[in-house]
Amino acid sequence: MANTLEERLNGIREQDPEWRAKAHERLEQLTMPYWALGRLMDLAEDLAGMTRSMNPPVARKTIVTMAGDHGVVAEGVSKYPQVVTLQMVHNFVTGGAGINALARVVGARVVVVDMGTAGDLKELADSGKILSRRIGPGTQNIARGPAMSRADAIRCIERGLELALELGESTDVFGSGDMGIGNTTPSSAIASAITGCTPLAATGRGTGIDSEQLRHKVSVVERALEVNKPDPTDGLDVLAKVGGFEIGGIAGLMLGAAYLRKPVIVDGFISTAGALIAQTLSPGAADYMIAAHRSEESGHAIMLEHMKKTPLLDLGLRLGEGTGGALAMNLVDAAAAILTRVSTFDEASVSKANA
C-alpha cells in the first residue's frame, strides 16, 4: 500500500466524544419532550461528533456518481447490455437521470466519475463534463479469476480518496453513487465475503431478473468466491478479487470524507459494498457514514447490520446512482437545524416538565 494512503488511513479518527456530549446536552434541553424528534436528534448528535462543531456545516452538498464496468456480465447476470453503462453516463451529463432530478430537489451538485467503463468517455472527460479516474476498461470476470490486481485495487482507493480531498474544499456533505451494469454481482460477493452470509442471502434480483436467472446469479457469486477465496479481513484483497473499479472508488471517497471529518451519505447496495471495503481498511471511517436507505436488494439489510447502521429511509428503492443519498440529504439538513435553530427551555422562557 502506498505511503500516502497509509498516512491518510492513519489520519482518520472516530467521532469526537466531547462534541457529541455537548450536542447531547443541548438536545436534551430543547423545547419539546425528551428526544421527541427521535432519530433526527441522534443524527444531530452524530453531525456534531463528526464535524467537531455545534453548528455543523451541511449547506454544500456533492453527490459523486462513479461508473465502472464488469467482466462478469459475460455470465448473463444482468437484464441489460453492458453498453447501458456508457449510455447512462451520457444521460447523467445531459441531466435526464433519476439522480439529476433528485439532486436538484436538495440543491446538490452531481459529479460523474469514470472509474473504468468499457466504453470511450474521453470526449466527455476532455470537455470537463465528467472526471476521469480510469483504472482500465472494466474489470475481469470474477467467476473465472480476480477482478483486478491488488495494485489496481490500491489505485481505486487512492483515486477515490484524493477526489474527496479535491472536492472537500467546496463540499460539506458527500453522497455516494454508482453506475455499472452487472455491479450487483460483485457487490453480492463482497457482502458474502465480508459479512459471512451465504451467497444466496447476499444476492438479489438487481436489474429485475426472474427466478431462474436469480438462481444462476447466485451460482455465479458462489463460483466467484470459490475461485478467488477473498480474505474477509483484508478489504484490498476482497476488492481485488471480487470487486469493481467504481466500488473501490466509492470506498476511497468514504475514506477521504472521514479523513476530512465530513459526513458521507451511503446510498444503496453498491455504495454499501464500498462502505464495507472502507470499514475493513479503517474501522473509524464508519463513524462518518450515514446510511441513506434500505435497498430492495436482499443482501443490503445484512450489510447494514454488519456495519451496525440503521438506514434513514425505507422506500423500496433499488436504482443506485446516489438517489437514496440525495433523498436523505434533506434529513441531514433537518438534523442540523434541530441542533442550531430550536431554542432550549431557558432560551425560550418555557417551563420544563414537572420532576
Task: Show which residues are catalytic.
Answer: 321
Rg (alpha carbons) of the chain, rounded to whole number: 20
| Separation in Å, CA 321 to CA 65, 92, 133, 210, 246 | 6, 9, 17, 23, 11
Q: Which amino acid is at 311?
A: P
Report how far residue 176's alpha carbon sits from residue 326's, in angstroms, rounded to the nearest whole number: 9
For residue 8, give the C-alpha cell: 491518510
- Give Cβ neighbours of residue 197 (< 8 Å, ≥ 6 apart): 191, 299, 302
Only one residue has cell 460483485, namely 186
Determine how many CB atoms are found less than 10 A away from the CB of residue 35.
14
H/E element, 66: strand 61-68
Q: Report how far residue 345's alpha carbon sits from residue 159's, in angstroms, rounded to the nearest whole number.
A: 48
C-alpha cell at position 270: 453498491
Is residue 222 within a helix (H) or strand (E), and if so which, with residue range?
helix 211-228
Structure letter (DSSP) for residue 351: P
Q: How many whole angstroms separate alpha carbon 245 and alpha carbon 262?
A: 23
State the CB neighbour count (10 A cutoff) for residue 220: 23
